[in-house]
Homo-oligomer: A and B are copies of this chain.
Amino acid sequence: MLNFEFQNPTRIVFGQDTISRLDTLVPNEARVLVLYGGQSAEKNGTLAEVRTALGQRQRYEFGGIEPNPSYETLMKAVELVHAEKIDFLLAVGGGSVIDGTKFVAAAAKFEGDPWRILETFGGAVTQALPLGAVLTLAATGSEMNFNAVVTRKSTKTKAFFATPLVFPQFSILDPTKTYTLPARQLANGVVDSFTHIAEQYLTYPVNALVQDRFAEGLLQTLIEIGPKVVNEPADYDSRANLSWTATMALNGLIGAGVPQDWATHLVGHELTSQFGLDHAQTLAILLPSMLHVRRDSKHAKLLQYAERVWGLTTGSEDERIDQAIQKTRTFFESMGVKTRLSEYSITADAIDKLVQPLQAHGMTQLGELQDVTPDVCRQVYAASL
A14 touches B7 (CB 8 A): no
Partner of A4, one of B2, B15, B207, B237: B15
Total count of chain A residues near the partner, CB < 8 A: 40
- Whole-angstrom CA separation of A14 from B16 in the bound complex: 36
Binary per-residue interface labels of chain A (188-222) against chain B in the complex, 1 for a CB within 8 Å, 0 otherwise: 00000000000000000001111011101110110
Give every chain B residue within 8 A of A208 (Cβ-Cβ): 241, 244
* Closest residue of B by beta carbon distance from A144: B6
Give every chain B residue within 8 A of A224 (Cβ-Cβ): 209
Could you name 22 residue pairs across A and B whose Cβ atoms are closer than 8 Å?
A1-B237, A1-B241, A2-B15, A3-B18, A4-B15, A5-B11, A5-B12, A5-B13, A7-B170, A9-B9, A14-B256, A14-B257, A15-B257, A209-B224, A210-B221, A210-B241, A210-B244, A213-B216, A213-B218, A213-B220, A214-B217, A217-B217
Does A26 belong to the interface (CB within 8 Å)? Answer: no
Does A91 belong to the interface (CB within 8 Å)? Answer: no
Q: Which residues from chain A sit less than 8 Å from chain B, CB to CB?
A: 1-16, 18, 170, 207-210, 212-214, 216-218, 220-221, 224-225, 237, 240-241, 244-245, 248, 256-257
Give every chain B residue within 8 A of A241 (Cβ-Cβ): 1, 207-210
Give every chain B residue within 8 A of A6 (Cβ-Cβ): 11-12, 14
Q: Kindly provide the distance from the CB of A215 to the nearest chain B CB, expressed in whole angstroms.
A: 9
